[in-house]
A and B are shown apart, each in its own frame.
Chain A
Amino acid sequence: MPHENGSMISANNVDLYYDDFQALYEVVFEAKAGEMIGLIGPNGCGKSTLLRTINGMLKPSGGTIYVDGKDIHKLSLSEIAKTCSNVPTEFPPDFNLSVLEVVMMGRYPHRKGIWWETPDDELIAREALRKFEIDHLADRNINRLSSGERQRTLIAKAYVQEPRVMLVDEPTAHLDMRYKLEVMEYLRDLMEKEKDMTVIIASHDINLMVKYCDKIILVKEGHIVGIGKPEEIVTEENIAKVYGVQCTVYRDGDGEVIIHPKHSLRLHS
């Protein structure tokens, strides 16, 4: 059930400061339900800051962000938890939690019982384990998973939170080639089924974002440089401007857009 004007997220002139440092400049964008959006840009450009502003963890000094029709910064923490969920890159050192226990914690914002979750919560959690094919690992200690399995556990946790917007920060940072594709495929599958959810993924892997996302948001030094279809945004000019890298963008035999970096522009500018 998309919002009246059809947008799930709408950011209007968002400015954000860390003390004196301005991290976001008049950020404007819209995201629709059912869209998977890749958020790309160089280190320190404000990707994570933008994610943390969308889910209300950071307060903008100007502008507003509406998520699912509500001003996210006017919601309580528990209302936010039912609207946005977050998949972190890292997981803190283990305290002997099992995969199922971690995923069940995604039900915390929806808790009905005192102390114990309800059987419904467990049903939802177990179904998420099946969806992300980690049900055979339900009792496994979270620290004894491969990086790919751990990432899927964290996505499952974010999924059972039943959010309208799922924010994924660097999901493939520590993964090898196969796990990278796998995680993205799971997210893509999720999008096919959950038509009224929006997923935003911040990543350094431009090729992966281009391959799987419906839209790309390109960020440089706190400004949105471009937003649109992957092939419109990921151009040689844009990459040179934002990353300072000379690259070739071409299509392979299957028609997929590939970006191939040639050299940095550090000596040539």
Chain B
Amino acid sequence: MNSNNDSLISKGKARLALVVVLGIFFIFLLFMISIAFGPVNIPLNEVWNSLVTVFNEGPQTGYDRIIYNLRMPRVIGVFAVGMGLSVAGAVFQAIIRNPLVDPYITGVSSGAGLGATIAITSGLTLSVLPINILTPVGAFVGALVAFALTFLVAEGSGGRAINYVLGGVIIGMGFSSFTTIYMMFSGDQVHNILLFLFGSFIGVTWSNLWLIVVPILSMVFVILLYAPELNVILLGEEQAQQLGINVRRFNLFMLILASLLTACCVAFVGIIGFVGLIVPHTARMIVGGDHRLLLPSSMIIGALVMASADLIAKMAYVPNELPVGAIMTLIGVPFFAYLLIRRGKEYAA
């Protein structure tokens, strides 16, 4: 029964290979669908022709330009943000050791919301930077400020993972209230603020795509390296410490890294909820708790779920776009309710 092929390690490696192969296949599929469908639907054979043309001689026809200029950078951004938020969620759930936690637990989203709101409302009068740069900068700075405050509160109250949850909730509420007050005085900018608060990929272009993709993927890569340590952390702080991990330092490093990752995810596209909560969960149900499988699976499922939500956001109300965050949340709420009813009791203590 315990032959070599049956070993946990080779089984794990085989499952990882399967996850990667399936993942590449489905991501390619959703890539094709995402560049084909939108306010203008492009037949799939035309999509292929356009891809070949774009690859060889750059965009020529109208279809080429829609695909190359609008849809390709957008779907790549969608994939990156979906991966980033899902991995950040998985990390927070492991470190805080509570599966009902999401990447916004340390106040990053509320900070980004306020930063973006200030940028949007003051952008016109300030005009140092164009609004499409000022907003992500504001959001990123806001996210960092919020995390820094959470950090101070959490470290001041003992520095354990639970202190980060409590600190993050308080700081998040504070920032959200500021955002609400700002919105009262923002006049005709309310629409733009809401677009950020519920997230949208409409602003992703080739010129800012690298600023989204490169930081997200590099932080995801670093987190992947620490998958074995994240596994050991699941045994509890005391056990992890006794297995040779400096838990305080490791948790702090991971919390900072995951918060930075979250900040990069929200800076350009706004606050997209639920993906970072439900995706690691779904992945955990499918592949189990081992982060060497869980993190790659979360990346793939995150990318796919995000692309599907973005597709709905683009298509449901043509010619207008719905905020993708709201679509995500609509998908997420029933799932989250189900999760609470099924599993919430286990975490009551």
What residues on A are CB-neighbors of B174 within 8 Å? Answer: none
What CA separation (Å) do A54 and B9 show in the bound complex? 34
What residues on B are CB-neighbors of A85 within 8 Å? Answer: 242
What CA separation (Å) do A122 and B7 show in the bound complex? 8
- When the two chains form their complex, are residues A81 and B242 in contact, meaning their CB atoms are under 8 A apart? yes
Nearest chain B CB to A160 CB, angstrom units: 11
What residues on A are CB-neighbors of B94 within 8 Å? Answer: 95
Q: Map CB proximity to A onto B283-302 as digits: 1 under 8 Å, 0 otherwise.
A: 01100111010000000000
Complex interface: stretch among A10-18, A99-107, A201-209: A99-107
B347 located at the interface, meaning its Cβ lies under 8 Å from any Cβ of chain A in the complex? yes
A86-B239, A94-B346, A126-B2 given; A109·B9 CB < 8 A: no
Identify which of A77, A78, A91, A94 gathers the most chain B CB atoms within 10 Å of its CB.
Answer: A77
Nearest chain B CB to A159 CB, angstrom units: 13
Nearest chain B CB to A119 CB, angstrom units: 6
A246 located at the interface, meaning its Cβ lies under 8 Å from any Cβ of chain B in the complex? no
- When the two chains form their complex, are residues B284 and A95 in contact, meaning their CB atoms are under 8 A apart? yes
Complex interface: stretch among A31-39, A110-118, A230-238: A110-118
Complex interface: stretch among B226-234, B258-266, B326-334: B226-234
What CA separation (Å) do A65 and B13 show in the bound complex? 42
What residues on B are CB-neighbors of A84 within 8 Å? Answer: 242
Interface residues on A, range: 35 or more
Could you tell me which residues of chain B, from 216 to 247, have a CB within 8 Å of some CB in chain A?
A: 225, 227-228, 231-232, 234-236, 238-239, 241-246
- When the two chains form their complex, are residues A116 and B239 in contact, meaning their CB atoms are under 8 A apart? no
* A-B interface contact total, Cβ < 8 Å: 90
What residues on B are CB-neighbors of A109 within 8 Å? Answer: 243-244
A57-B241, A80-B244, A81-B243 given; A101·B8 CB < 8 A: yes
Nearest chain B CB to A67 CB, angstrom units: 13
What residues on A are CB-neighbors of B12 within 8 Å? Answer: 116
What residues on A are CB-neighbors of B239 within 8 Å? Answer: 86, 88
What residues on A are CB-neighbors of B238 within 8 Å? Answer: 57, 86, 88
A49 located at the interface, meaning its Cβ lies under 8 Å from any Cβ of chain B in the complex? no
What residues on B are CB-neighbors of A118 within 8 Å? Answer: 9
- When the two chains form their complex, are residues A108 and B244 in contact, meaning their CB atoms are under 8 A apart? yes
What residues on A are CB-neighbors of B292 within 8 Å? Answer: 115-116
Could you tell me which residues of chain B, from 7 to 31, have a CB within 8 Å of some CB in chain A?
A: 7-9, 12-13
Q: Which residues of A contact B (CB under 8 A)?
A: 55, 57, 76-78, 80-82, 84-86, 88, 91-98, 100-102, 104-106, 108-109, 111, 115-119, 121-122, 126, 161
**Can you list 12 A-B contacts (CB < 8 A)?**
A76-B244, A77-B244, A84-B242, A85-B242, A92-B236, A95-B94, A97-B234, A97-B290, A101-B231, A105-B243, A118-B9, A122-B7
Q: Give 18 A-B pairs besides A77-B246, A95-B289 with Cβ atoms closer than 8 angstroms.
A: A78-B244, A86-B238, A88-B239, A91-B235, A92-B235, A93-B97, A94-B289, A95-B284, A101-B8, A101-B288, A101-B290, A105-B243, A108-B228, A108-B243, A108-B244, A109-B244, A116-B12, A122-B8
